[in-house]
Amino acid sequence: MPLWCAAVQPYTPTVHDPLLEPWRWRVEGALSDLGVLCMDEATDGSLWFGNTGSIAHYNGVDITKISFDDELLSKITALRDF
């Protein structure tokens, strides 16, 4: 058996993976300085981002950033203690 192998023809998938489609991936300059860690889509189509030290709401035009200040963090911690 030779040490190298060659395919008879290149593999082309018959079912396309929608996550790999290039139109799904784009760079938004307005979001680049947020430090995004995770993302979720709301029922109205807007996007929520979990960032380092904040959360952000993006409707495609405007960004609303909600910082984690001491008051908000104390409320989150109080809810977690239940």
Q: From CA 39, how far away is CA 48, in angstroms rounded?
A: 6
Domain ranges within the chain, ordered by starting residue: 33-80
Q: What's the pLDDT tens digit per position in 60-82?
A: 888 999 888 777 777 767 666 55
Q: Find all residues with CB under 8 Å of 35, minimum gap 6, and list them.
A: 51, 52, 53
User: Residue 80's pLDDT is what?
Assistant: 60
pLDDT in tens, 18-77: 777 776 677 778 788 888 889 999 999 899 999 888 899 998 888 999 888 777 777 767
> What's the rounded mean pLDDT across residues 2-17?
69
